[in-house]
Structure formats: C-alpha cells, structure tokens
A and B are shown apart, each in its own frame.
Chain A
Amino acid sequence: MSFRFPVEAGAILAFARAIGDLDPRWYDETSPEGQRHGGVSAPPTFVASAAHFDPDWVYRPRPGVPWHGSGRGPGSRAPASGPGGGTSLHAEQHYEYHRPLRPGDVLSVEREPGRRWEKQSKRGGLLRFEEEITSYRDQDGELVLTATRVRVITERPVQP
C-alpha cells in the first residue's frame, strides 16, 4: 500500500510542541540552530505523523463510523488482534535516516511486511512478532527514511 505525505512547516512546529521540544532548528530557519542544519528540518520521529495521510489508519474517528472511545457511554473494547482475543502491542521502532526531512518535501510512503517470528511467553501465551517496513521517498524518488515497526500479537489478552 502507498500514499502521499506532504511535509509542512506548521505540522513540524505542532509536532515539536507536542513532544516538548522547542529547539529552534525545528521551526526557525534564521536561528543559528536552524542555519547549522541547513534550514528547518523535522524532529527524528516526525514521520509518525504520516498517519494523518494514511487512508487506512484505524486510530482516527471517521464521520458516520462507530468509534470505540467514550461518548454517552464508556466506549467498547477495541477489536481483538489475535484469534484468542489477544492484544497487539508496539514492541520496537527503528528509523534509518538518509537525509533530513524538510518542509516542502512530498514523500511517497510505502509499507511492506518484513520478518516474522514467534516466542513463547508465560503471560501472553504464544507471541507472534511482525515487522512492517515503511519507506519514505521524496519527489525525486530518493530514499529519505526507512522505518521498521515491530509489533507483537499475544495469543491471550494481556491485562495491564
């Protein structure tokens, strides 16, 4: 699957504030910090916000579609990920950077499955690990960033 992800200065600023990081290199190209890095660039994990442009992203309420968070009632359980009602957890996240992301970049985002493996655990039963590899290419087709997300799906529900 693939979609477009335009990198915008305002989105980078909002992201920097959301992570409590007010380093001027993320929003002020005239600052010494910005100039040292060749102008405004995005914080290392900014690509997480590509979710806004992901048409299939499930953690976003949509008009006309029931949402499992609270409203009049407390909400309802999220759909289970494993056949035994297991839980899906974000286990690891890795980024490889080929060049900084800049406002004005229009990235094409492509996700593909990576390795899979299994491990036995006392608490969650059989744990299935799955990698998802996302590549971000710029308007010239150059690879800007590669992200690897590892999620683990437990056999049984894992209570907090």
Chain B
Amino acid sequence: MRAADLKVGDTHTAVVIEDLSRTQIAMYAGASGDFNPLHTDEVYATQVAGYDTVIAHGQLTMALTAKLVTQWADEASLAAFGVRFVRQVKPGDTLSVTATVVSVDARDGGLLVHLELVTTNQAGDEVVTGYARLRDY
C-alpha cells in the first residue's frame, strides 16, 4: 500500500507480538545496546528495583508499533514517527497496534498522510500512543 492509497478514516489493527518472551527482550538489549538490568535481569528487577518482573524497553514497544506501520503502508516512505510511553510492558504481554488515518494533506507536490497510533496490551490498556507521517517516494 502506498501513502496515496490511504484515506481519512482508514484503519488497520494487528497483533505485533504475542506472549512477549524474556529472550525477545534479551535480543533487543543485545541489538540496541541498552543493557539496563531492569530489562533483562529478573533478580535485579525483583529484589533490588522492586518490580514484580523485568519490564521491556520502551523502545522495543516503539519498534513493534513501527512494524505495523511499515507492514500496512509497505510501499510508503516514513517522514516522521513519535510515541509517548504510557504504561510498562512485561514478559507474557501480547500487544496490538491500531493505526488510523487522521489527515491527508498536499505537501511538496505529493501527499503527507498522518496516522494516529495506539498500542494496547491483552487487557486493552494503552501502552504507547503516537503518530506517523507517511509520503510516497
């Protein structure tokens, strides 16, 4: 799908991770270089930091949110993407992202499509809210 194929009100929802594993979080730590023990060290997270388990990197949830955008508008080019971190994500969580087209504007001889993004966990609680702006190459 190109940016030009999207119309105001179009919406798309998909699961972006099912039963998030501690191994997936460890992979993200290795790939991103963020080795904060709060994300991968269950002993530290529970006995020192006072959490009931490790928490996923906010940036991992952000990356999973981006995945829905690049899969849905798979021919478009991303101009901007941003999120607010609302709630912690933990091992075992299943996350879904909903993208909604909120505006389509003429810009620089092309179109700029503005998406609103909401990522929720299995309880329906928002974990991330955000936006993306798409254009065609």
Interface string of A37-57 (1 = CB under 8 A from B): 110000111001111101001
CB of B77 within 8 A of CB of A93, answer no
* Bound CA span A97–B135, Å: 11
Interface status of B70 (Cβ within 8 A of chain A): yes
Taking CB atoms and an 8 Å cut-off, the chain B residues in 34-83 that contact chain A are 34-38, 41, 43-44, 47-52, 58-60, 62-64, 66-67, 69-71, 74-75, 77-83
Contact flag A59-B74 (CB < 8 Å), given A48-B59, A70-B44, A90-B58: no
Q: How many residues of B contact A (CB 8 A)?
A: 47
Q: Of A17, A33, A60, A93, which contacts B33 at CB under 8 A?
A: A60
Q: How many residues of A contact B (CB 8 A)?
A: 49
Interface status of B84 (Cβ within 8 A of chain A): yes
- Residues of B near A43 (CB, < 8 A) are 63, 66-67, 70
Contact flag A19-B60 (CB < 8 Å), given A33-B74, A160-B50: yes
* Bound CA span A141–B77, Å: 22
* Bound CA span A20–B64, Å: 8
Taking CB atoms and an 8 Å cut-off, the chain A residues in 3-50 that contact chain B are 11, 14-15, 17-21, 23, 25, 33, 36-38, 43-45, 48-50
Q: Which residues of B contact A (CB under 8 A)?
A: 16-17, 24, 27-28, 30-38, 41, 43-44, 47-52, 58-60, 62-64, 66-67, 69-71, 74-75, 77-85, 88, 137
